[in-house]
Structure formats: structure tokens, C-alpha cells
Structure 1
Amino acid sequence: MGGLRRIMKKGLGDMGFNKGGGIINWFPGHMAAATRAIRDRLKLADLVIEVRDSRIPLSSANEDLQSLLTGKRRVIALNKKDLANPNIMHKWVNYFESCNHDCVSINAHSKSSVMKLLELAELKLKEKIIREPTLLVMVVGVPNVGKSALINSIHQIALSRFPVQEKTKRATVGPLPGVTQDISGYKIAHQPSIYVLDTPGVLIPRIPDIETGLKLALAGCVKDSVVGEERIAQYLLAVLNSRSTPLHWKHLNTRMIERSKDELEEKHKFSLKDLLPKKKKPPNTSDVRYIEDIVMEVQCALHVTLSEFDGDLEDENNLESLIELQFEALQKALRIPHKASEARTMVSKKFLTLFRTGKLGPFILDDVPETQHITP
């Protein structure tokens, strides 16, 4: 992994992840105001659900809030588990539990998954439910970890379980960080009355290191325009190469050959009937397979470039050269015209979309700490 760290410093440069300083100012003014509001309301919360991205369980923590959460009832919800490597996910849950933190991996869009979280939250509030008529649950987390999606799922479950009299509101959900920019309260239960506060995602005024910042950017917690799509794509390629991930995609070459044969057999001969107007165009197998084909071509392109590479991945110059070759291979695989302006940006955007939607497979970017201690 030495080559990966060196290329981040050499190829990506000092990105200046600090408020108002360095090359990148990624801490907007509204985050400072939101942070103050969250701190004030945390004092009133009976339970805090801290939502993190399962792909970056440590990097997606807001370290500035950790000291305030120490004395609170808290559940760490590792969201987007469908995008995380299931072979490692249980190790993270065990790690947090060994640090005396209740933790559960969830998919905010899955009712059964959210139910599991609610059951744990209810267990944590069991003593308070007996004594208090009104309870407050606060949902916190960095941008774009799925807080609003979680609250909307909780609403749907609550509506089926409790007679809610007033019209309920839905949290605004979006694919970009910074959608929720105010603190809103939502009543989810009666007897006792339980309210959930959805909060805007806030980062810390300073990210500790370049790699943490790039992980946040890769997961979509920082807007692409702040860091730059090409920088983020370079980092993703460096991570995949350092882990030898494309070498595990060797079988895809055979699958692509078989797919090509199948498509040739499915092609029908031209007929005059093809000229007749159709009320509804029948589904085209090639259209259905388009995305899958693109993913397969991308994976094959990365497999070929890495398997044929005879340099040292620990050498940042060699790693840079490999990444350059892979950008060219990705441009062909993603079918972006060779002379298209801003071709590298288009390649980066499409490549990042494939990763973020799980098309390239499940990943966890953080490493499980060896020591049984979590940063406070």
C-alpha cells in the first residue's frame, strides 16, 4: 500500500482539507451553523442514531461530535450495507461492539433492515419509555450517508404501527450531499410520543489526512466538484490496483466471448414486417443487457491492463503510468468518443457512478483497526 499513499501525495497533491485554507474549501458556511444547532439539540436527545457509510465505517464519522456522544445512548447504524463487502461487514460490527458501542448494519431502503434498527433503539430506550411521556431520537451523520432515506423508512413503518393523527412530513432525499440543510422534527409514535430529528449532514472543520478526504469524496460525502472527478477516479484506480481487485475479474473475458456468441444467434434476418409501425416496441435483449455489458467491459479492461502490467505497484511512477493506461482503456470500454472534449472528466464520472451504485462489486475502503479502541 506504500505506492498508494505516495501517489496520493505526488499525483493528487496536498488537497488542503481544512476550513478556509489550502487548495480546497469544502466546509460551507451552513455546516458551521448546523453544527452549532446539532450540539444544542444533542443535549435534549434521549437516543442518538449515528449513521455512517458501511464502506467507510471510520472515515464517515464526524469526529467533532464523538466527545458529545460519549455519555449518550447511541446506536451506530452502518448504512448502505448492500454496497459493502459482506465478508468484512461482520468484522466491523464486532469491532464496534468490542468498543462497547451498539452497532447494526442496515439498508435504509429495506423495511426488515430498518425494523432491526428500531428494535435495537427501542431496547435502548426501554427504561426511559416507562418514565417519560415524550422521547427524542436524533439522527446524525456526515453528508449523504442516507439519514433522510432512513427517516422516510421509519415513517412508513411508524404509520403501519401507530395511529398518527396529524399529516406527516417526508424528509427530502437526494443523491448529492447537502440536501438536508435544516433540522426538522417528525413524530413517529404515540404512547409514548417519540420524535425523530433529521439533521443536515455536517463534516468536521478539518479532515485529518488526504486519504480520509478521498474516501469521503469517493463515497459521495463530499461534492465531486469540490475535489474533482478525475482526482477521485485516480484514487479509486489506485485502490483497486493496490488490492489487485481487477485480477479477480479474470473469468469475465470468457463470459464476454460467450455473450457475443449469444447475441449473434439472437439477431434475426431482415423482413418487410420490420417496416410496419408497431404500437409498442418489443423489449430488445441487447438494450436490457447494455449496462451489464458496460460493467463487464470496464472490469475486463482493468483486468487486462493490470495483468499485463510488469511494473512495481509500490513505485508511484509505475502506478501513475498504469493509471494512465487504464484511463485510456476505460474510455474505450465506456464508449466515449476519442476526440470528445472533457473526455477524462466523462470517463471519471461514469466510472465513479459504477462504483457508487455497486456495479463493480461490494467494497469496504477502511481497514478494521487491530487495536480494540475507537477514536473518541
Structure 2
Amino acid sequence: MVRTTSFVQKLGDSVKKVSESKSSSWWYNHHMRAASRAIFERIPLVDLVLEVRDARIPLSSEYEQLRNFPSSSRNIIVLNKMDLANRSKTKEWMAYFKDQNYIPYAINSHNKDNIKEFLNFLQAKVRDIKRSKHFNNSETTTVMIIGIPNVGKSAFANSLHQIGRISAAEKGKLKHATVTPQPGETKNITSLKIASHPNIYILDTPGILPPEILDAERSSKLALTGAIADFLVDQSDLAQYFLSILNLSDEYKNWEKFSIIDNIENQIMNDHTQDFVVQAVRGALFQDISAFKGNLEEEKDMVQLIEAQFTTLIKAFNVSLDSFTDVNGVIASKLINLYRTGRLGHYTLDTIPRTCKC
């Protein structure tokens, strides 16, 4: 049994406390409640539902409200952020969902070719629906995009809108869905046109979490991938959780050629995403993990390694040690950002249920 238990429990307790207290203006606020009701009422009225999930957490990012509606050919699971997940694991998850009679599709919402392929797939699906219902091409098809916060719904909607309008050669000022790195920022349901002949409109909806999340492991995964607002959890705890995942993976083995740059303090360090900084971080983590002699299946040994990594990362990130700096907080923030942008490897955090035959 891998020893991430204490990190998971700490994060899970934090999230549970916030959700149960209802003290946060972010957690399931009146905007989320109103949007949840509006989505619930509209799902039966649309022609297709695209449930967007995070490819790194295909189960944990499930939109639970959709369970109230029977799965059918009208529902498509879209695994977004496939570029941040483990590629082979994404293929396994696709096979799993097909085995469960779902229609899955993996995408990177920022890849134009990928979006074009999906749009062609979606249009073919719409044509099938129209044939089965004897619609004519003049009638409008409505597709609703739903999902939890920060799975990339709005970016996905905008990409479909832009590619679709260009393909249809339609001119005029484009109407965009609001895209923000902060989860839970979309407040209203926005309609965007993505195709003509037949006309297809998508409804971009706010990200909704359930009123309570009692499972600590799911809470931790949602927090790490950014579905839960960062200010609700301690960033140092979040970084420790990520390091526990990294330390038990094989990702660091790809970083043997990197090392900490000796004169890194002479470089311009205002951007931790610069390649030389990222390489220094990779090299530091590789050295620490490779040199560690403890048993990472033991929690105390894992904690010992993570403490050493935080110390090493001070140099890699060139963090100031003056008395006004929250050193661990700075390191944690930078480390989480590099993880979320794929600069520190590609991880699929959910495991496929053992009942799968794929």
C-alpha cells in the first residue's frame, strides 16, 4: 500500500470542513445552487450532453448530477487535458468507459487539429440524431457542456466556437465564453454557435461541485488538479501531496540529465516557468529521489524525503531566505503550478476499478 495516507487525509479534512461549514462564499454558493437547478431543468431538453472531465482524474471529476439521468447515446464523456495525463492510462480509461457503455472522447482543448476532429465527430453524431428523429437540417441542435469547475469547459466551448465558425465561413464579431484559471468563475449559461447546415449551438454552463465531498482521496485529487479553489486548502499540504505522488512514480527517471545550475542566482529569476529553472527543479528532484535510501512505502520515510526536497528546492527556485518570505509557501505555489502545466510529468491519478475487463 503506497504511503500517501497522511497527505490525503489532511487535505480531505480541510475540504470536508469547508464544505460542511458552508462558511465559504465559494463553496456551493447561491450562484452554484441556481446554476445547478437551471442545468438540471435543461438537460432533458437538449439534444446532446457533453460531460467534460479532467483526463488526470476521469472518475474523481465526474459530474454527479448527471447520475439522475439514464446514460444513453445522448451523453458523451469528454476527457479534456489529455496532454497533462499519462497517455497510456488515458487509452485504458477510454477502453473502460466503452466497456461501461459510455461514449468517451479524449481531447486537448488548445489543440486546433484535435478540436477539428472532435467537431467532425460531433456533427456526425448530430446527423445520426436528426435521422433517428426525422428532423430536417433547418432545425437547430442544442448541445450542453457540463462539468465540475476547472476541467476546461469554457476553453473547450470557445475552441469549438472558433473552429466551427471558421469552417462555416461565418464572419462577424465572435462571442466568447469567459475563460479564467480560477475555478467556479462562470456564473451564467452561455450559448455559442459552432456549426451551420445544420445549425448547432452549445450551452457553456458553470462548473458545479456537489454540496459535500466526503471522500478524502477524491478531495485531494480535485484540489491538486485545481477543481477546488486554492485558497480553501493549504498550498504546502498540496505540494507535499504532489511530491508523494511523484516520489512513487517513474517520472523522475527521465530527468537524470538535468542538474541544478551553480550560478542560477545570477539568472533572471522572476519567472519560475523558464526552461532553465524547470530543468534545475527536475534535476534537484531527481538527485533527491535517487539518493534516498529509505523505504517510500513507509510514511515516515516519505515525509523525510519530502522535507529534504523542500530544502533542495530553495536553491532550484532561488527563493529568498529573508524573514519576510514564507519559503515553503513560495516553493509550494511554484511547484503546484509546474505540475498543473505538465512541466513535471504527466500523471493519471485515478485508477481503473478492478471490475474492468479492458
TM range (shorter): 0.7 to 0.9
Amino acid of the residue matched to residue 313 of structure 2? Answer: L
Which string of whole-angstrom CA distances, capped at 9 and with x for unpartnered residues, describes residues 6-65 of structure 1?
A: 4433x5572242774169853333212211111011011110111111111111112232
- Structure 1 residue matching 2:318: 3-state secondary structure: coil
- Structure 2 residue matching 1:231: 3-state secondary structure: helix
Correspondence for 2:36: 35
More displaced, 189-198 or 284-293? 284-293
- Structure 2 residue matching 1:197: 3-state secondary structure: strand
* 1:47–1:19 CA distance, 2 compared to 1 (3 A): farther
1:363 to 336, 347, 350: 347
Structure 2 spans left out of the alignment, 5+ residues: none
CA distance in 1, matches of 2:126, 2:241: 42
More displaced, 237-246 or 343-352? 237-246
Correspondence for 1:74: 75
More displaced, 63-72 or 233-242? 63-72
- Structure 2 residue matching 1:92: 3-state secondary structure: helix
* 1:245–1:128 CA distance, 2 compared to 1 (3 A): closer
Q: TM-score, normalised by structure 2?
A: 0.87
Q: What CA RMSD, in Å, does the superposition of the two structures yield over aligned residues?
A: 2.9
Map residues 1-376 of structure 1 onto 2, 5 A cutoff: 1-9=1-9, 12=11, 14-17=13-16, 20-21=19-20, 25=24, 26-68=27-69, 70-71=71-72, 73-130=74-131, 131-132=134-135, 133-162=139-168, 164=170, 168-253=174-259, 291-339=274-322, 340-372=324-356
CA distance in 1, matches of 2:110, 2:12: 37
Aligned 8 A contact 2:164 2:194 in 1? yes
Which of structure 1's runs of 4+ aligned residues deviate more than 6 A?
A: 284-290
Which string of whole-angstrom CA distances, capped at 9 and with x for unpartnered residues, describes residues 212-247 of structure 1?
A: 111111111111111121121111011111225434
* 1:228–1:191 CA distance, 2 compared to 1 (3 A): same
Alpha-carbon shift at residue 290 of structure 1 (Å): 7.8
Amino acid of the residue matched to residue 311 of structure 2? Answer: E
Aligned 8 A contact 1:18 1:207 in 2? no
Which string of whole-angstrom CA distances, capped at 9 and with x for unpartnered residues, describes residues 72-117 of structure 1?
A: 6011111111112223221111111111111111111122111222
- Structure 1 residue matching 2:13: 3-state secondary structure: coil
Amino acid of the residue matched to residue 95 of structure 2? Answer: N
More displaced, 349-358 or 313-322? 313-322
Alpha-carbon shift at residue 285 of structure 1 (Å): 12
CA distance in 2, matches of 1:24, 1:248: 44
* 1:226–1:72 CA distance, 2 compared to 1 (3 A): farther
CA distance in 2, matches of 1:79, 1:302: 28
What percent identity do the matched residue pairs reach?
A: 39
CA distance in 1, matches of 2:307, 2:44: 51
CA distance in 2, matches of 1:52, 1:290: 26
* 1:335–1:166 CA distance, 2 compared to 1 (3 A): closer
Aligned 8 A contact 1:18 1:27 in 2? no
- Structure 1 residue matching 2:142: 3-state secondary structure: strand
- Structure 1 residue matching 2:141: 3-state secondary structure: strand
Q: TM-score, normalised by structure 1?
A: 0.83
Amino acid of the residue matched to residue 129 of structure 1? Answer: K
Amino acid of the residue matched to residue 153 of structure 2? Answer: K
- Structure 2 residue matching 1:64: 3-state secondary structure: helix
Aligned 8 A contact 1:7 1:319 in 2? no
Correspondence for 1:275: none
CA distance in 1, matches of 2:331, 2:340: 14
* 1:302–1:165 CA distance, 2 compared to 1 (3 A): closer
Which string of whole-angstrom CA distances, capped at 9 and with x for unpartnered residues, describes residues 332-369 of structure 1?
A: 21110122521111111111111111111222111223
* 1:364–1:302 CA distance, 2 compared to 1 (3 A): same
